[in-house]
Amino acid sequence: MAGNSFGEVFKISTFGESHGKAIGVLIDGCPAGLPLSIEDIQLELDRRKPGQSHITTARIEKDQVQILSGVFEGQTLGTPIALLIENEDQESKDYSHLKNAFRPSHADFTYQEKYGIRDYRGGGRASARETATRVAAGAVAKKLNSSLTKLSVQAFVSSIANIHLEKNYQELDLNTTENNLVRCPDEETAKQMIRIIETAKAEGDSLGGVITCVIKDCPIGLGEPVFDKLEAQLARAMLSIPAVKGFEIGSGFEGTKMKGSEHNDVFEARNDRIVTKTNNSGGIQGGISNGMDIYFRVAFKPTATIMQKQQSVDAAKNEIALEAKGRHDPCVLPRAVPIVEAMVSLVLADYILISRLSKI
């Protein structure tokens, strides 16, 4: 159980560390004949890459993807697809003081205890740098999903710290999500979010928040009984993203305040389809998609690295004062939107292929 692979039929395995020579992903199970280009993948990577604006990390990585195998003359071969992204802008000297020190709320201590060795440069394998490989694989999954179905996946920032987007997703034009630095589909709320991120950055501090994701036109019947329910896999996918500390789908925790008579989604026939009048279930019932919108929220903690002095201990159990160096996001939310979409696309691609085995 190495924990570096995800998926059953459409399966990915990622590799690489933050300050290593490169990071990459191997995709197995992608069917042959899917039109695929570097541009399809690069488009998504450019949404996640560092150095996008003054409210993200100043690390500059082009994140240029290379397709090493599995694609020929613009189509997938049905063989493993290997994608590579070289690291170009590492400043490992910024981490030399962490060789024997444990940063608060990082994986330094747990990795050291588990493996007895760790790459302390930029967090090594535990760095969010690894998520670039997920976005690359997610781009392939997204292309597969769009070729087989009409579904769409759109995520957006719905809160940062105490600034909340008051409208629900039905009231928003999600196509405007990319129109501002913070990826919030409401300009006024986005401006407030940007201001508090700027303030936190100036104070050497960080902020957390919530990303909401909506899946529209999802085929009915995705998901498996009992342990492999669709929402269970979505939760697993989201909680595997660095800094994620919470997941809720549909009515979520608010649903606990309702009576069954209020919460139940009543069925009706509409335009030759069976639908529900409400959607407190979040588009999934019995662990299987029912054709309604699937919507959920993902909670991200504040970035662990802050530019303030903090107390900690070193490997010899000495108390020390740590002062961070390097380049870090004061808030990960804007760059996490394409990561959320990528992980959702991977889950859906897997279940779309699995669903073809459910009945003759």
The parent domain of residue 166 ranges over 5-355
Residue 242 resides in a domain? yes
196-205 average pLDDT score: 94
Residue corresponding to tokens 């008051």: 166
Supply the pTM of this predicted model. 0.94
pLDDT beyond 60 at 193: yes
The four Cα atoms 220, 255, 231, 286 give a dihedral, to 10 degrees, of: -50
pLDDT tens figures, 106-152: 999 999 999 999 888 878 888 899 999 999 999 999 999 999 999 99
- Domain for residue 133, yes or no? yes
Our count of domains for the chain comes to 1
pLDDT at 18: 87
Average pLDDT on 32-57 reads 90
Tell me, what's the pLDDT at 153? Answer: 98
**Structural domain contains residue 188:** yes
CATH code for the domain in which residue 306 is found: 3.60.150.10
- Within a domain: residue 297? yes
Q: Classify residue 255 as exposed, middle or buried by CB count within 10 Å of its CB (0-12, 13-18, 19+).
A: middle
> What is the pLDDT at residue 122?
75
The verdict on residue 360 lying in a domain is no
Residue 47 falls inside a structural domain = yes
Structure tokens at 52: 């996008």
Return the pLDDT at 93. Answer: 62
- When mean pLDDT is compared over 57-61, 264-268, 311-315, the highest value belongs to 264-268
Residue 289, C-beta contacts closer than 8 angstroms, at least 6 positions apart: 218, 219, 220, 221, 222, 223, 230, 283
Contact by Cβ (8 Å): 26, 80: yes
Could you read off the pLDDT of 245-294 as tens digits, one per residue?
A: 999 999 999 999 999 999 999 999 999 999 999 999 999 999 999 999 99
